[in-house]
Structure 1
Amino acid sequence: MTAQTTAPVAYSAEVQTWQDQVQTAVHEIRLLARRHGPGGRIPTLLELRGELPGLSLHVIRAALQTLSREGVLARYGRVTRVLGPDEIHPDDQALVATVRSDIEVGRYRPGYALPTGLLSYVFGHDRAETHRALRHLVQEGRLRRLCAESGPHGPGYYISPSPDLESRQK
């Protein structure tokens, strides 16, 4: 009996659709990011093309953008760096700081729905980038993300009750 060998993953454009190629590149770059760990540098676009033969620069660029939107990577010019799980994406720091400050000074009161569409517009983010930023405030306990129709104004982000207010009510 002979040992069977497995063929490497085919990145052939004839076999995979463009979306499949992007998903393949996302998977491969995600593995690379795990190997490098938080703060690690990801190879340049051209270096990645050499490591992912058969995938075009457009596919690799789309995969990097996907991972950046997810908050896995941050691009600084030509350098791409792996972000830590609690690290705020550089593009989100102003939005997070502004919302945090507005909650602290009482501009957004507990129970209010956060105007995510307006925040996206003001900070030049798309929906995915706004969600990426707001997840840090959810982790801090300043926001609650309500899905389906559970919020008074439908799904969205709501200001959490402040710990000071809760302790005064008890």
Structure 2
Amino acid sequence: MTADDSAATRPESMRILDRACVIVHQHVTTAYPPGASLPSTKQLALALGLPEKHVHQGLLRLDSLGEVALHTGSLPIRLRPREPHPRDRALHGAVRDRIRAGHYRPGQALPTGLLGEEFGLLPHHVQRALRFLTAEGTLRYDEHGAFGPGHYVPVALAGAVS
């Protein structure tokens, strides 16, 4: 089975939504520089000629990827490259502090479900936050880790978290 075969078996409504999300992504990443506020969902829908619900879904996907920040108390914002999502900052600080304090030890898998509950983040938002920490080297993702696939404290990092 190829990717085209699996796409062909998806309902037409899902394929339309996927295309709309691609359009929203392309528009946002080319028309708005990092750090810029985006127009409202309604204004984007009018500009793109798409249903408002499809534009909203596209923005939700961009939020999950860490490309934009929604629900910040104002209009959506296009995030800068390597800029953490505003809702992830508390989790970032806590993980760094816990590594520094020895609460999370080198080689230990992070309890992602518990972290999500503690910080009020959905599982895909926890993954977004941990991708950021992995990119900066605070964590490592190991598909074949000792406790299964997951995010682990790197052995070399032990006392080096700043």
Please indicate the TM-score interval, normalised by the length of the shorter structure. 0.7 to 0.9
Distance 1:90 1:146 in 2: 26
**Where is the strand percentage greater, Structure 1 or Structure 2?**
1
1:19 to 4, 14, 20: 14
Q: By how many angstroms is 1:165 displaced?
A: 6.5
Determine which structure has more spread, i.e. the larger CA radius of gyration. Answer: 1
Give yes or no for the alignment of 1:43 onto 2:44. Answer: no
Distance 2:17 2:44 in 1: 13
Percent identity of equivalent pairs? 34
Distance 1:61 1:18 in 2: 15
Distance 1:122 1:163 in 2: 24
> Does structure 1 conserve the Cα–Cα contact (< 8 Å) formed by 2:139 and 2:151?
yes
Judged with a 3 Å threshold, the aligned counterparts in structure 2 of structure 1 residues 23 and 164 are, in CA distance, closer, same or farther, namely closer
Can you list the C-alpha shifts for 1:113-162, whole angstroms capped at 9, x where unaligned? 11011111111212211110011211221211011xx1111100110124
Task: Find the residue that maps to 2:155 and give its secondary structure.
Answer: coil
Judged with a 3 Å threshold, the aligned counterparts in structure 2 of structure 1 residues 110 and 164 are, in CA distance, closer, same or farther, namely closer
Task: Find the residue that maps to 2:102 and give its secondary structure.
Answer: coil
Task: Find the residue that maps to 1:38 and give its secondary structure.
Answer: coil
Which amino acid counterpart does residue 35 of structure 2 have in structure 1? Answer: G
Q: By how many angstroms is 1:78 displaced?
A: 4.6
Gaps in structure 2 of 5+ consecutive residues:
1-10
> Does structure 1 conserve the Cα–Cα contact (< 8 Å) formed by 2:105 and 2:158?
no
1:109 to 88, 105, 108: 105
> Does structure 1 conserve the Cα–Cα contact (< 8 Å) formed by 2:107 and 2:154?
yes
Q: TM-score, normalised by structure 2?
A: 0.83
> Does structure 2 conserve the Cα–Cα contact (< 8 Å) formed by 1:117 and 1:127?
yes
The count of residues paired between Structure 1 and Structure 2 equals 148
Judged with a 3 Å threshold, the aligned counterparts in structure 2 of structure 1 residues 164 and 94 are, in CA distance, closer, same or farther, namely closer
Q: By how many angstroms is 1:25 displaced?
A: 2.4
Which amino acid counterpart does residue 20 of structure 1 have in structure 2? Answer: R
**Where is the helix percentage greater, Structure 1 or Structure 2?**
2
Equivalent position of 2:114 in the other structure: 118
Distance 1:164 1:73 in 2: 32
Q: TM-score, normalised by structure 1?
A: 0.79
CA RMSD of aligned residues (A): 1.9
Gaps in structure 1 of 5+ consecutive residues:
1-15
Equivalent position of 2:127 in the other structure: 131
> Does structure 2 conserve the Cα–Cα contact (< 8 Å) formed by 1:32 and 1:42?
no
Give yes or no for the alignment of 1:158 onto 2:113. Answer: no
Distance 2:157 2:120 in 1: 31
Give yes or no for the alignment of 1:61 onto 2:53. Answer: no
Q: By how many angstroms is 1:89 displaced?
A: 0.3
